[in-house]
């Protein structure tokens, strides 16, 4: 009898303009072509009640105290945890555009916000099987076009965010040089996803973030 594998939880992280959203689309279409059951998610998920408040904050049409907005971003992940568990349990892989690491890296880039404190509210959420960090120097990323108008889209913030991301790197992280062409990056990203999907660790229970 074949043992049923759970789905893999794969997260793409990176600074603004690192190509996360493009690469998520590329991975999703490759998975579809390969007939591998997969689901795409992104955080923040702005369609929920909590997510719509986050959306207003990012568009600068609402102000919130730094700890309070941090906890809302975290709550947005907690509210989707049951859906994520259900999908993985039935063997569906999940590709996620931003996750807890964005939560920590962005909040901790603000003055008087402590990185360890920022990690606490996500403790107990699912730990990804693979985190693909699309690494690009924010100064180079900026040459890909003007930042938008949303909060955090400025060079100083992005530099602090990148240095926070690098503090969060653990054994699940793979760093990909995102300064190359879309095709070159996609080739590496798809190869990493393939390796994660072939991994025996999908026969064991998913871990939790600490």
- Residue choice 7, 14, 19, 44 for contact with ligand 2DT (CB under 6 A): 44
Q: Should residue 26 be labelled a site residue for ligand 2DT when binding is judged by CB under 6 A?
A: no
Kindly report the CA angle at 88 between 49 and 26, in degrees rounded to 5? 80
Residue 11 is classified by DSSP as E
Beta carbons of 128 and 5 less than 8 angstroms apart = no
What is the C-alpha to C-alpha distance for residues 55 and 65, in angstroms, rounded to an integer?
Answer: 15
**Least distance to ligand 2DT, CB of residue 102, Å:** 4
Q: Give the count of residues interacting with ligand 2DT (CB under 6 A).
A: 9
- Return the SS3 of 62: coil
The residue within the footprint of ligand 2DT, chosen from 14, 73, 126, 162 (CB under 6 A), is 73
| Residue 17 in contact with ligand 2DT, rule: CB under 6 A | no
| Interaction of residue 98 with ligand 2DT, rule CB under 6 A | yes
Considering beta carbons, is residue 98 or 127 the nearer one to ligand 2DT? 98
| Of the candidate residues 11, 43, 125, 129, the single one contacting ligand 2DT (CB under 6 A) | 43
Locate 112 and state its tokens. 């008087």
DSSP state letters, 67-130: HHHHHHHHHHHHHHHHHHHHHHHTT-EEEEES-HHHHHHHHTTSTT--HHHHHHTTTTSBPPSE
Residue nearest to ligand 2DT (CB): 103
Q: Does residue number 165 form part of the binding site for ligand 2DT (CB under 6 A)?
A: no
The tokens for 24 are 């998520």
Q: Is 106 in the site for ligand 2DT (CB under 6 A)?
A: yes
Q: Does 102 bind ligand 2DT (CB under 6 A)?
A: yes
The contact set with ligand 2DT (CB under 6 A) reads 43-44, 58, 73, 98, 102-103, 106, 152
């Amino acid at each position: 009898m074949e043992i049923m594998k759970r789905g893999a939880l794969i997260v793409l992280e990176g600074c603004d303009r690192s190509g996360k959203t493009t690469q998520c689309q590329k991975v999703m279409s490759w998975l579809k072509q390969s007939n591998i059951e997969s689901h795409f998610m992104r955080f923040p998920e702005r369609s929920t009640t909590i997510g719509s408040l986050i959306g207003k904050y990012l568009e600068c049409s609402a102000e919130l105290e730094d700890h309070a907005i941090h906890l809302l971003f975290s709550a947005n992940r907690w509210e989707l945890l049951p859906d994520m568990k259900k999908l993985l349990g039935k063997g569906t892989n999940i590709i996620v555009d931003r996750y807890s690491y964005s939560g920590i890296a962005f909040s901790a880039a603000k003055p008087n916000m402590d990185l360890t404190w920022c990690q606490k509210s996500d403790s107990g959420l699912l730990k990804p099987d693979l985190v693909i960090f699309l690494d690009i120097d924010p100064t180079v990323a900026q040459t890909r076009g003007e930042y938008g108008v949303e909060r955090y889209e400025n060079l100083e913030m992005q530099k602090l965010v990148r240095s926070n991301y690098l503090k969060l790197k653990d054994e699940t992280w793979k760093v990909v040089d995102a300064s190359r062409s879309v095709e070159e990056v996609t080739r590496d990203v798809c190869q990493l996803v393939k390796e994660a999907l072939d991994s025996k660790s999908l026969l064991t229970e998913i871990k939790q973030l600490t």
